[in-house]
Amino acid sequence: MRCCWQLWLCNGLMLVCMSAAWGRDPDRILDVWPGMAPGETAKNVGTAIPTKIVERPTTTRMGSITHPTLSFYEPPDNKKNGAVVLIMPGGGYNYVVVDKEGSEVAEWLNEQGITGVVLRYRTKDMSTPIWQRPLQDAQRAMSVIRAQAAEQKYDPQRIGLMGFSAGGNLAALTATRFGNRAYTVVDAIDVTSCRPDFAMLIYPWKLLDDTTQQLSADFPITTQTPPTFLVHTHDDGSSSMGSLWFYAKLKELKVPAELHVYQAGGHGYGLRPVSGTAIHTWVEPAAEWLKLQKVVPTVTNTALEPTR
C-alpha cells in the first residue's frame, strides 16, 4: 500500500512539473491584497491537484487558494503597446486552471503586444453566492493593475479582462458589477476604478437563471458595460444560450459586442485544438476584435495603398 502511495505521489509530482513547464514563468508575481484577503484566516497561494494521466499536454489545476495572486507576463519591449488583459481561468470555482486557461493565454496576448496578467482567485468555500470572494479578488485586481499604470507604462484606458468557463462567469460579473465594491475599501488602491475597458468571455459558465432560462439577474448589464467579445460552441454542455442572452442584452442597449458560436468543440479547450473541430481558430476573430476596439494598434502598409 505504501509503495503504491509513493508511486502515485512521484507520478503526480512529475506530471505537475511537466505541466508547469508547458509555459514560461511569469515576469513578476504580486499579492492581490496587502494582508489577509477579506474573510480569510490563512495565506494559501494554492495546492496543485494531481494531473489527469490521460491529458496530453498536461493541465495544471490549483485548488485551496485563500491568498490570491497576480502573475504578470510582459511582451518584449519592442512589441509592448500598453494594453493589459486580466485573465481569469476556469475551474468551476473549485480550482484554477493556471496554464491552459492562464499562462498559455498570456503568451498569446504577448504576441499581440498586450501584457497578460493571470489571476489566481480564491477557490470554493462556503460563501453565498459562490462567486462572492472571487469577485472581490477580481475587482481588487483590476484596481491594482490600473494603479500601476504610470509606473509600468500601461494605458489606464486599455485595461480589460478575459475569462474562461467559471472564469468567464467571474469576468461577466466583473464587467457588470464594477459600480459597487463587493468588499469594504482597504486602501488608496481601491479608489482606482475597477471597471474593465473591454471584456472577452470565452465559453462562460452559468450565465442563465436556472428557473427562467434567461439571463441571470447576477449580471446587471447597462449602457456602461464595456464592449464584449463572446465565444461558445453549439455542443457545449454548459449551454451557449447564456452567451446568446448576454449578447442580446448588450445588443438591446447598443453596447458594442461580438458573438461567435462554433458548431463543435465542447468545453474547456482554452487555445488548444480539439480534434475534428475548428474551435482553436477563435483567436483569429478575437485578434481582429481587439484591433476594432483599438486595444491593439492597426498597422497600415502605406506601400500597398493605391496612388492618388
Query: What's the pLDDT at 302?
Result: 44
- pLDDT of 23 reads 64
Cell numbers for 218, please give them: 447576477
| pLDDT value, residue 170 | 98
For residue 53, what pLDDT is reported?
A: 72
Domain extent at residue 107: 2-294
Residue 301 resides in a domain: no
Q: Kindly state whether residue 6 falls inside one of the protein's structural domains.
A: yes
Q: How many domains does the chain have?
A: 1
Q: In this structure, are residues 199 and 221 in contact, taking their beta carbons and an 8 Å threshold? A: no
- Residues forming beta bridges with residue 30, ordered by sequence position: 70
pTM of the entire predicted model: 0.89
Cis bond upstream, residue 76 (ω within 30): no
Q: Which three cell numbers stand for residue 181?
A: 465594491
Whether 305 maps to a domain, the answer reads no
Residue 129, judged by CB atoms within 10 A of its CB (0-12, 13-18, 19+), counts as exposed
Which of 50, 28, 85 lies closest to 202 in space, CA to CA? 85
Residue 132 phi, psi dihedral angles, 5° rounding: -60, -55
CATH of the domain at 56: 3.40.50.1820
Is 307 inside any structural domain? no
Instruction: Give me the pLDDT at residue 301, please.
Output: 52
What is the amino acid identity at position 184? T
Structural domain contains residue 217: yes
- Each residue's pLDDT, cut to its tens digit, for the chain (308 residues) gives 333 333 333 333 333 333 344 468 999 999 999 999 999 999 999 999 988 777 778 899 999 999 999 999 999 999 999 999 999 999 999 999 999 999 999 999 999 999 999 999 999 876 789 999 999 999 999 999 999 999 999 999 999 999 999 999 999 999 999 999 999 999 999 999 999 999 999 999 999 999 999 999 999 999 999 999 999 999 998 889 999 999 999 999 999 999 999 999 999 999 999 999 999 999 999 999 999 999 999 865 544 444 44
Residue 300 domain flag: no
Is position 303 within any domain? no
Q: Which amino acid is at 29?
A: I
15 within a domain of the structure (yes/no): yes
Cβ atoms within 10 Å, residue 101: 30
Question: CA of 38: how far to CAs of 23, 53, 89, 133, 182, in Å?
Answer: 31, 36, 21, 8, 10
